[in-house]
Structure 1
Amino acid sequence: MTDRRDDPSELPVRDAVSRYLRRRRADATDSSVYSWEYRLKIFIEWCEGIGIERVGDLRPVDIDEFYDIRSGTVEPTTLRGEMWTLKGFIEYLDQLGAVEDDLQDAVRIPNVEKEDRSNDERLVEDDALALIGFFRNDEAARASRNHAFLEIAWHTGARIGSIRALDRRDANLDENYLEFNHRPDTDTGLKNKRDGERPVAIPSEVSDVLEEYIRGDRYDVHDDHGRAPLLTSTHGRPGKNTIRVWSYQATQPCLHSPCPHGREREPCEYTEHAHASKCPSSRSPHKIRTGSITWQLNIGIPPEVVAERVNASLKVIEQHYDKESPHERMEQRRRQYIENMETDL
């Protein structure tokens, strides 16, 4: 009797993605598989949202529609990474004979202009949260120095000098806040001096990460003044240039997604300490600060509260840090208040 096998075109989209990721685990790093899983989750949710249940139901027009929707939602470099991931998945389905022969040809890979590839205006919310999600869920990367730095930088929006100035005693993790102090006599003055001193609340998840970092990867060392820095290098308190390198390393998109520049992470020189700043998509601490301030405003924190948290004036925030367009501000910040204008006339 002939061994009958199920028709691969009947595979649910979610199950097909799981099967694809299981196959790729044999020849890819954990971080690569995690990045593909993150990107393909978006595609799964889109398919389920419009009623596409089986991979055999996918048509070129569906792939084109998905491209159009995502192109209006994410940055060009992010879209490029997502579409490369989708193309790999569709090619796998084609190998199984589960989809139409021409489906993979419908996956458009956008041509990203040079100015878009190197645009470092800010670390955008989608990329920041994807990076944080990677660090929190990757066993080897969780609570590492780069992870601890990124959690602090993103959730406080603090300047590089303020992050460098943090001592272990300034991390009040039982109460979920960090305290920034002006200590110029021991080489950690704040930009706005005493006016820059403030406590900044952080989510409990961030406190948990910092607790793990302190117990694990943090070097138990002191600086030249006998103080115990929160973020440490092997020699004590890191210099600003060292922190910039950590920032470039912690924000490379290939940690959570395929490289938007067509490179493979393992042999790429940009992953090395000395060349991390050369990655066109990595971000400096200032660009994380810019993105964080925009994000804090977008999630509904009042501007005056954001100004106090990041130690900047409202005018400076509006002029230099609030990078959303007027339309984006309307949709993300003001739309929730429009219902208050409705009347029963």
Structure 2
Amino acid sequence: MQEKNIPPHDGVQRYLNDRKPELSQKSLYNYRISVNQFADWCTDQNIRYLRELDGDLIAQFKDYRLEQVATITARNDMRVIKNFIEFCESIHAVFSGLAELVRIPKTTEQDEICDDFLTKEEADAILEFLGKHQYASHRHVILLLLWKTGARISGLRTLDVDDIDSTGPTVQIRHRPDTGTPLKNDERGERNVFVTEETMEVIQDFIEHQRPNTTDEYDRKPLIATRHGRAAHTTIQRHVYSATRPCNYNGGNCPWDKRPETCEANTWDGASKCEGSVSPHALRRGYVTAARNAGQPKDVTGERVNMSGRVLDKHYDKGNHQEKANRRQDHLRDI
């Protein structure tokens, strides 16, 4: 059967519509980024219709991604592209068998491990600065909760005002997919997380004095709110990138000798370009490492952050050899 004239972005939209019922919101968001990047690349290559694609062009896109991102990211992108091409075959937008020509980059175990994490010393300095200069602000509460609980962004976003129990004191993380805030592990990710009285006091001051009196589209009262409703993932990410820039909390000194007044990273949209800023997930890794170094048992830490011991060891515990030896020392016996 003759392939149809379907432009790349049209094919992408049909693919996303097809996958939407079976993917979580987070997965659909990630898929959308990957396939839109591919469609944009096709446009840059003057590819008008998907039927013009062949194995060589897709290999060129793979090489392009490998130049732009880490191998693990390129691998994930190409897995989505392979699935997209399989869909395109089913609607006769490309020739049959093209998906078999999509090559997935191979990765090593080390490629799958991200070493980006915030140290306890850095977290203490950032929270001290925020507590002094931006007390109980959105940024202060976001950084405080991510660091003190080790939660994912999805766990932070799902919090409503009613999920804050000052008598605990706890924050109650719940899976609410029908009202826009699913957790990564569904109901298995639900938990109550203890926080200190000091942390709870900051949260309560934020609710009373700084939080906008607003509801989201489901008539819920989000804890991390804007004037328009629940804060988006990107808003939380930008707060973290901005707060973790070294010059933001160390008196304006840049470790790379850049001038803050002219640095492209010294903006709301550009903060992620700073070599010293980190993503929200780096706080999760930092919390796990700091908790383990402080002697908190692995199973307690894992349950608190909703993580298996295997994943904790492989991806999140960034303690060095000496720190891990120190943890074992109190449990050793001379035999």
**TM-score normalised to the size of structure 1?**
0.61
Gaps of 5+ in 1: 1-118
Tell me which stretches of 4 or more aligned residues in structure 1 moved more than 4 Å: none
Determine whether 1:330 maps to 2:328: no
Report if aligned partners of 2:115, 2:318 keep a CA contact under 8 Å in 1.
no
Compared with structure 1, are the counterparts of its residues 195 and 185 closer, same or farther at alpha carbon in structure 2 (3 Å cutoff)? same
Question: Hey, what does 2:152 align to over in structure 1?
Answer: 159
Question: Hey, what does 1:305 align to over in structure 2?
Answer: 300
What is the CA distance between 1:256 and its match in structure 2? 2.4
Question: Hey, what does 1:234 align to over in structure 2?
Answer: 227
SS at match of 1:271: coil
- Higher relative CO (Cα under 8 Å, sequence separation at least 6) belongs to 1
Q: Which amino acid aligns with 2:256?
A: H
Report if aligned partners of 1:120, 1:283 keep a CA contact under 8 Å in 2.
no
Determine whether 1:292 maps to 2:287: yes
SS at match of 1:179: strand
Report if aligned partners of 2:243, 2:249 keep a CA contact under 8 Å in 1.
no
Question: Hey, what does 1:316 align to over in structure 2?
Answer: 311
Q: Which amino acid aligns with 2:206?
A: Y
Question: Hey, what does 2:24 align to over in structure 1?
Answer: none
SS at match of 2:313: helix
Report if aligned partners of 2:293, 2:323 keep a CA contact under 8 Å in 1.
no
Determine whether 1:123 maps to 2:123: no
Compared with structure 1, are the counterparts of its residues 144 and 268 closer, same or farther at alpha carbon in structure 2 (3 Å cutoff)? farther
Report if aligned partners of 1:152, 1:163 keep a CA contact under 8 Å in 2.
yes
1:206-246, Cα deviation, whole Å (9 max, x unpaired): 11111111122211111100000001122110111111111
Task: Provide the C-alpha distance between the structure 2 equivalents of 1:192 and 1:253, rounded to a whole number of angstroms.
Answer: 33
Q: Which amino acid aligns with 2:268?
A: H
1:234-284, Cα deviation, whole Å (9 max, x unpaired): 211011111111111121222322221213445544232111111111111
1:60-90, Cα deviation, whole Å (9 max, x unpaired): xxxxxxxxxxxxxxxxxxxxxxxxxxxxxxx
Identity of aligned residues (%): 38
Gaps of 5+ in 2: 1-113
Q: Which amino acid aligns with 2:328?
A: R
Compared with structure 1, are the counterparts of its residues 164 and 276 closer, same or farther at alpha carbon in structure 2 (3 Å cutoff)? same
Question: Hey, what does 1:22 align to over in structure 2?
Answer: none
Task: Provide the C-alpha distance between the structure 2 equivalents of 1:299 and 1:261, rounded to a whole number of angstroms.
Answer: 31
What is the CA distance between 1:146 and its match in structure 2? 0.6
What is the CA distance between 1:337 and its match in structure 2? 3.9
Q: CA RMSD in A?
A: 1.8
Pick one of 194, 198, 222 that aligns with 1:201. 194
SS at match of 2:171: strand
Question: Hey, what does 1:45 align to over in structure 2?
Answer: none
1:113-136, Cα deviation, whole Å (9 max, x unpaired): xxxxxx961111111111111112
Question: Hey, what does 1:68 align to over in structure 2?
Answer: none
Question: Hey, what does 2:50 align to over in structure 1?
Answer: none
Task: Provide the C-alpha distance between the structure 2 equivalents of 1:157 and 1:206, rounded to a whole number of angstroms.
Answer: 14
Task: Provide the C-alpha distance between the structure 1 equivalents of 2:256 and 2:115, rounded to a whole number of angstroms.
Answer: 15
Pick one of 183, 195, 206 that aligns with 1:190. 183
Task: Provide the C-alpha distance between the structure 1 equivalents of 2:270 and 2:299, rounded to a whole number of angstroms.
Answer: 38
